[in-house]
Amino acid sequence: AFDNEIVTAVCTAEKLANVRRCDQFNVVRFNGRRQSVSLLNYPQFIEEPFPALVESWLINLASETASYRSYSSSQNPPIFHRKELLLGPHHPRYEEFDTLTSNAEALGLFDKPKGIGYQVQWNKLIKDSGFRVEGHSLLPIGNLESKDDKCVDNWPGDSKNDDISRHLTALNRSSLSAPIQTLGRYGYLNKQLQLFDYGCGYSSDVTALRSEGINAHGWDPYYAPDNKKHKSDIVNLGFVVNVIEDSEERVEALKNAWSLATQLLVVSVMLENLNRGSGKKFKDGFISARNTFQKYYSQIEIIAFVREVLDIEPVAVAPGIIYAFKDKDLEQDFRLKRYSRIRYRSSLKSLRVSLAPRATQKEKMQRFFDANRELLSELWVLWLELGRRPLDGEVKNLSATIDLFGTLKKGLNFLEKLNGSDEIDNSFKARLADLKVYFALGIFEQRSLYKVVSPKIRNDIKFFFGSIRNAKEDAADLLYKIADRDLIEEACKNAKEHGLGWLEEGESLQLHSSMIEQLPAVLRVYIGCASALYGDYKNADLVKVHINSGKLTLMSFDDFDGNPIPRMLERVKIKFREQDIEYFDYVDDYEPPNLYLKSRYINEEFPRYPEQVLFEEQLDELGLLDFTGYGPSPSEFTNTIRMHRLEIDGYELIRSKALPDLDESCGQYLTFRKLIECGETLRETSIANLPKQIETFNSLFDLATKILDPVIDYFGMIKLTYGFCSSDLARKIPGGIAPKLDQHASCEINRNGNYICSRLGAAVDFIVEDENMLEVAQWIVANTPFDRLYYYGSDKPIHLSFGPESSGEVVIMRAMKNGKLMPKRIRTDLFTELNSS
């Protein structure tokens, strides 16, 4: 049950967005401190393993406003992971969904969260990991059969053992195979261990590993028969036993590979799934049209096979991938590390056996499509491009289509039944709009319709308009609409709702030029008319449609695609009413402005969009600058970032790698020089007490901004008595210091390349004149994220540090009768209750 606050918030959001739960959305997300609510619609939430977002409503509860975004036409929509968390253990498919998440975690798919929330990046990550998704299963990409191997009509040979073409199952990979990637994930791919690939095929894995300096070798009976088989720490038997049709040979291959492994054998096979049955039944597997053999294992079956043959207890590390340890110490270490970390959740759930259901009519149709993918994909794409059913003369491989179906009509009927009518309807609307834009711009440019119309256009006119006259009338009507201000504004709102650009309500729409073709027809004509005056709008990066003034602005930037904050180079304003063009370039005395919040003007289909969004979130979290309007000037932005010891590296904000000037500000009140050149010994010796490590300067900055600035804000200026201490200075200080503990050495290293003080961070000693230092210390303990504080007395300087440990440790230094100081740790709550008496 949800608390009343949540229920009230959702009901309010529904009312403001004018939508109903279940009918229009099925997921609710609260943003921030429940200031806003997102209502999300995932229509295939249960059916799809990683469901795609189709539409969303963002409701600001404070301002009582709602905005809408549709992803229905997006080629890279956001997707949902770990959906079982929203369903709970009582859902009938909870375990199935939870197993999928467990296997994804075991493969490390969630280790680097950047970009995985979008479909294209997620699918690429799965593929690059050597896996593919089928249903709610992650299956290794092994020696998959090609599309031609799905044929079920003509079978070569009589299926004798010596006819089987095992070598044809080898894959020429563009990335490491799935079993090899698991070795990398668990730390077994290093220069200390030797790897042997038993049945290496084209040697793709071996070549890639060698390029990284790993001692890897391989042997293959067909592609590398002359290579020597020799013992290695790790042996990979990758997708070998599943292509051997003779069961005794499988046993022999497994034993041979095991005999070569001194520490670990990796065995991987193709798993049974929808692939089962794609071919002619032979023994315990199937033979393809290319005369290759495939046996599809269940997870339990391959584990049992390895256990029985090798007489050991194998470990399942991923679907279809098994580890067999010969080195039992290594096995124990593996099991301990694997189960001691949350991300390596148990994969035992994947051992459950479920009988494959009988193929549905839809699945049979999909298999038929897969068996003839090239021909049918080409026909389907042609249909969507035309927005109508292709005619005989428009189909390139008409004869092949007729051979397969009997008539073109039957082939098109098959595709419509398989894929549904949604894409067909959408393509019809898109093609009709394209044709209207084409003819409307022809009228504007005073182009006469070609006397000899191409057959394709002639067919389009007949299907979509009925006649050339009707086409001209529809186009003229569209052309006149660009003068309708309200219609332009409505089209701009529609574009924004579909993720096409940034809308300034009632003012303008700005978007990247690559999105123009996706805009409503009236906006495309609007922009096209401007192009007739200026030239190709694609020469610009951003396009700005002025809603009220009948103008169009084109903006070009320096490396728009590769820079998270590109700088404007040129701005061109096209005035329709005056038939005039204004050019403005940023040279000489004009500082090129930065483009901030670039993600507003692009969408999830744009290259590096996820990285751009994360970069902007980094900037926002810092809270250093105001990006409303045009944002800060480039010089203000650069100086602010630099003064906070930050710099931009690609699409990331990182700690600065530059040495600052000593007189540069270090926080609001101090300089680096003041933190470095303080203390009695330094003044007496005039030693060049300079940090050598960039990290030291960054740590001094953190100390100043996180601790010292707040102290100065509250108590007034401090007097520094001891700051950064180099090795040279430490040797001149007469006793009483502990460089390995006191953090005055910050992040400096010794001659052996180790940190002088392993606590890192930075430290200073200071006093606030005319203040009780107990009160100062107590305020610091209560109000700052300090690391360590040493208190010496109400009228003496305190030692204060800030560092990564953030221990919050307080030590009172008590004077003994012999004059020595005795440290005593004290709880922070007790320290804040002390009084100076």
pLDDT confidence of residue 405: 94
Residue 662: band (very low, low, confident or very high) from pLDDT cuts 50, 70, 90: very high
Contact 725, 745 (CB under 8 A): yes
Residue 423 CB coordination number (10 Å): 14
666-679 confidence digits (pLDDT tens): 999 999 999 999 98
Identify the bridge partners of residue 580 per DSSP, sorted by sequence position.
Answer: 575
Query: Helix H segments across 498-633?
Result: 521-534, 609-622
Residue 383 lies in a domain: yes
Report how far residue 635's alpha carbon sits from residue 624's, in angstroms, rounded to the nearest whole number: 14
Residues 200 and 100 in one domain: no
Which tokens go with 18? 């004018």
- Integer angstrom CA distances of residue 536 from 174, 394, 554: 38, 30, 10
Report how far residue 793's alpha carbon sits from residue 247's, in angstroms, rounded to the nearest whole number: 83
438-486 confidence digits (pLDDT tens): 889 888 877 665 555 778 888 999 999 999 899 999 999 999 999 999 9
Residue 190 lies in a domain: yes
Residue 118: band (very low, low, confident or very high) from pLDDT cuts 50, 70, 90: very high
Residue 102 lies in a domain: yes
Going by DSSP bridges, is the β-strand pair 195-198/216-219 parallel, antiparallel, or unpaired? parallel
Contact 784, 710 (CB under 8 A): yes
Residue 492 lies in a domain: no
484-504 confidence digits (pLDDT tens): 999 999 999 999 999 999 999
123-149 confidence digits (pLDDT tens): 989 988 888 888 898 888 765 544 444
Residues 371 and 334 in one domain: no
Residues 233 and 375 in one domain: no
Q: Does residue 275 carry a pLDDT above 70?
A: no
Between 579 and 426, the more confident residue is: 426
331-380 confidence digits (pLDDT tens): 877 876 664 433 333 332 332 333 345 567 888 888 899 899 999 999 99
Contact 352, 102 (CB under 8 A): no
Residues 674 and 786 in one domain: yes
pLDDT confidence of residue 354: 34
Residues 55 and 88 in one domain: yes
pLDDT confidence of residue 143: 53
Residues 112 and 184 in one domain: no
Residues 90 and 209 in one domain: no
Handedness of CA 633, 634, 639, 641 (dihedral sign): positive
Buried b (16+ CB within 10 A) or exposed e, 778-814: bbbbeebebbbbbbbeeeebbbbbbbeeeeeebbbbe
Residue 439 lies in a domain: no
pLDDT confidence of residue 358: 59
Residue 646 lies in a domain: no
Contact 265, 309 (CB under 8 A): no
Residues 347 and 383 in one domain: no
Residues 207 and 253 in one domain: yes
CATH number of the domain encompassing residue 226: 3.40.50
Going by DSSP bridges, is the β-strand pair 261-268/821-826 parallel, antiparallel, or unpaired? unpaired
Coil, helix or strand at residue 172: coil
Report how far residue 777's alpha carbon sits from residue 831's, in angstroms, rounded to the nearest whole number: 9
Residues 171 and 307 in one domain: yes
Q: Does residue 101 carry a pLDDT above 80?
A: yes
Average pLDDT of the residues in 684-706: 93
Report how far residue 82's alpha carbon sits from residue 509's, in angstroms, rounded to the nearest whole number: 36
378: containing domain: 366-420
Q: Does residue 11 carry a pLDDT above 70?
A: yes
- Integer angstrom CA distances of residue 705 from 35, 48, 506, 785: 29, 48, 42, 11
Residue 410 lies in a domain: yes
Give the chain's domain count: 4
Residues 395 and 325 in one domain: no
Give CB contacts under 8 A, 24+ apart, made by 278-284.
278/145, 278/149, 278/150, 278/152, 278/367, 279/145, 279/149, 279/150, 279/152, 280/152, 280/155, 280/159, 282/159, 282/245, 283/245, 283/247, 284/247
The model's pTM is 0.72
Between 320 and 34, the more confident residue is: 320
Residue type, 513: S
The secondary element (H helix, E strand) that includes residue 238 is: strand 232-238
Residue 250 lies in a domain: yes
Sheet with strand 36-41: strands edge to edge: 27-31, 36-41, 55-60, 65-70
Residues 246 and 303 in one domain: yes
Coil, helix or strand at residue 151: coil
Identify the bridge partners of residue 132 per DSSP, sorted by sequence position.
Answer: 139
Phi-psi region of 168 (alpha: psi -120 to 50; beta: other; left: phi over 0): alpha
